[in-house]
A and B are shown apart, each in its own frame.
Chain A
Amino acid sequence: MIRRFVLKRLLTGALQMLGLTLAVFFLVRMLPADPVSRLVGLNASPEAYKQAQRSLGLDEPVMTQLLNYLGIGSDSGLLQGDLDVSWVTNAPVLAEIGASLPITLELLTYSFAVTLLFAVPVGVASAANPGKAVDKFVFFYGLFGGSQPEFWWGLLFVLIFFANLGIAPAPLGMISPLLQAPPRVTGFYTLDALIAGDFRAFFDILHHLMLPVLTMVFVLSGPVIKMVRQSMIRAQASDFVLYANAAGLRRKTVTRYAMRAAIAPTITLVGILYGVMLGGAVLVESVFSLGGIGQYAVRSVLAFDYPSIQGIVLVITAISLLIYLLLDILYAIIDPRVVYT
Chain B
Amino acid sequence: MSLLDTSPAGAAPLPRKERRTASALLIFAIIFAGGSLILACFGEMIVPFDPVDSAFIPNMPPPPLRDWPGLLWVAITSTSPEPIHWFGTDSSGFDVFSRVLCAPRIDLTIALAANFLAMLIGIPFGLVAGYFTNPATEFMMRVSDVIQSFPVFISAMILVALGGQSAINVIMALSLLYAPIYVRLTRSEAMAQKSRGMVEASRAIGQSELRIALQHVLPNSIGPSLVQSSVTIGFAILLTAGLSFVGAGVRPPDPEWGLMISTGANDIVLGQWWTSVFPGVAISLTVFSFAVIGDALQRRYDR
Contacts and interface: CB of A to CB of B under 8 A. Distances in A.
A16 B149 contact: yes
Interface residues of A, number: 72
Contacts of A230: 11-12
B53 to A, nearest CB: 25
A221 B152 CA distance: 20
A314 to B, nearest CB: 10
A304 interface: yes
B4 interface: yes
A105 to B, nearest CB: 15
B17 A131 contact: yes
Interface in B66-110: none
A200 to B, nearest CB: 25
A5 B1 CA distance: 8
A280 B157 contact: no
A287 B265 contact: yes
Interface string B277-288: 100100110011
A135 B221 CA distance: 34
Contacts of A340: 1
Contact of B158 (A19, A146, A148, A301): A301
B280 to A, nearest CB: 4
B173 to A, nearest CB: 10
Nearest to B296: A143
A277 B212 CA distance: 42
Contacts of A320: 149, 151
Nearest to B21: A136
- Most chain A CB within 10 A, of B1, B8, B157, B283, is at B1
Contacts of B16: 131
A297 interface: yes
Nearest to A316: B151
A173 B246 CA distance: 17
A28 B271 CA distance: 41
Nearest to A275: B151
Given A16-B146, A155-B261, A143 B245 contact: no
Contact of B6 (A233, A237, A335): A335
Contact of A33 (B149, B161, B291): B161
Nearest to A15: B142
Interface string B237-264: 0100110011110000000001001001
Nearest to A130: B15
Interface string B116-160: 000000000000000000000000001001100111111101110
A280 B153 contact: yes
B97 to A, nearest CB: 18
B164 interface: yes
Contacts of A171: 269
Nearest to A13: B149
A124 B17 CA distance: 19
A171 B151 CA distance: 26
A234 B69 CA distance: 51
Contact of A155 (B1, B151, B159, B268): B268
B18 A139 contact: yes
Contact of A139 (B3, B22, B261): B22
Contacts of B155: 313
A62 to B, nearest CB: 15
Contacts of B158: 24, 27-28, 31, 301, 309, 313
A333 to B, nearest CB: 13
A337 B8 CA distance: 15
B2 interface: yes
Interface string A328-341: 10011001011111
Nearest to A226: B11
Nearest to A235: B6
Contacts of A136: 17-18, 21
Nearest to B281: A152
Nearest to B235: A147
A298 interface: yes
B1 A152 contact: no
B103 to A, nearest CB: 13
Contact of A317 (B6, B25, B149, B269): B149
Contacts of A131: 15-18
Contacts of B235: 147
Interface stretch (A45-53, A92-100, A156-164, A241-249): A156-164
B170 interface: no
A297 B152 contact: no
B162 A28 contact: yes
B234 interface: yes
A317 B288 contact: no
B153 A159 contact: no
Given A143-B291, A317-B149, A152 B261 contact: yes
B150 A337 contact: no
Given A149-B238, A151-B258, A152-B261, 4 more contacts: A149-B287, A155-B268, A301-B157, A301-B248
27 contacts: A16-B149, A27-B158, A131-B15, A144-B291, A148-B238, A148-B287, A149-B238, A149-B284, A152-B276, A155-B265, A158-B268, A159-B271, A163-B268, A163-B269, A230-B11, A237-B12, A264-B6, A276-B152, A286-B246, A301-B161, A301-B162, A301-B248, A302-B247, A304-B161, A321-B149, A338-B4, A339-B2
